[in-house]
Amino acid sequence: MSADRSTPPGLRALWHARPSYYPRTLWALLLTLDLLPWPWGEDILARLFVARAFLRTTRLRQALRWAACQPRPRWRLALALCAYQGRLVAQASMLGRRGPDELRRFVLVRGGEHLPAPGRPTILLGFHLGAKGPDVALKLAGHSFIRLGGPRVSRSWLNEAWRRFLSTSQIVVPIDDTKFLSSALYEARRRLLEGGTLFTLGDGHGRPAFQLDLPGGPLPIRSGWLALRRHTGAVVLPVLSHLEGRLQVVTIHSPLPAVDPDPARDLHACRAALGQLVQEYVRRFPEQCPSLVYWDPDPGVPPDGTAEPTSEALHSGERAV
Which chain residues interact with another protein by CB under 8 A? 177-187, 189-190, 206-207, 223-224, 227, 231, 321
Which residue, 199 or 225, has its beta carbon nearer to another protein? 225
Least Cβ distance, residue 201 to another protein (angstroms): 14
To another protein, the closest distance from the beta carbon of 301 in angstroms equals 17
Nearer to another protein, 178 or 310 (CB): 178
User: In this complex, which beta carbon is closest to another protein, that of residue 73 or of residue 174?
Assistant: 174
Nearer to another protein, 208 or 309 (CB): 208
Which residue, among 125, 258, 120, has the nearest Cα to 195 in the 3D structure? 120
Nearest to 166 by CA among 157, 179, 175, 174: 157
Closest separation between CB of residue 227 and another protein, Å? 5
Q: Whole-angstrom Cα distance, residue 180 to residue 69?
A: 39
- By C-beta, is 92 or 125 nearer to another protein? 125
Q: Which residues contact 161 (CB under 8 A, 6 or more apart)?
A: 4, 6, 98, 99, 100, 101
- Residue 237 in 3-state DSSP? strand
Nearer to another protein, 2 or 178 (CB): 178
Which CB contacts under 8 angstroms, 24+ apart, belong to 76-79? 77/286, 77/287, 78/53, 79/50, 79/53
Give the dihedral sign, CA 282/285/288/293: positive
Which of 259, 230, 33, 233 is CA-nearest to residue 116?
A: 233
**Residues 6 or more apart in contact with residue 12 via CB below 8 angstroms:** none
Q: How far is the CB of 299 from another protein (least distance, A)?
A: 10
As measured in angstroms, the least distance from the Cβ of 177 to another protein is 8
Shortest reach from residue 189's CB to another protein, in Å: 7
Q: How far is the CB of 8 from another protein (least distance, A)?
A: 31
Q: How far apart are CA 126 and CA 42, in angstroms?
A: 22
Chain mean position to CA 2: 26
Nearer to another protein, 7 or 167 (CB): 167
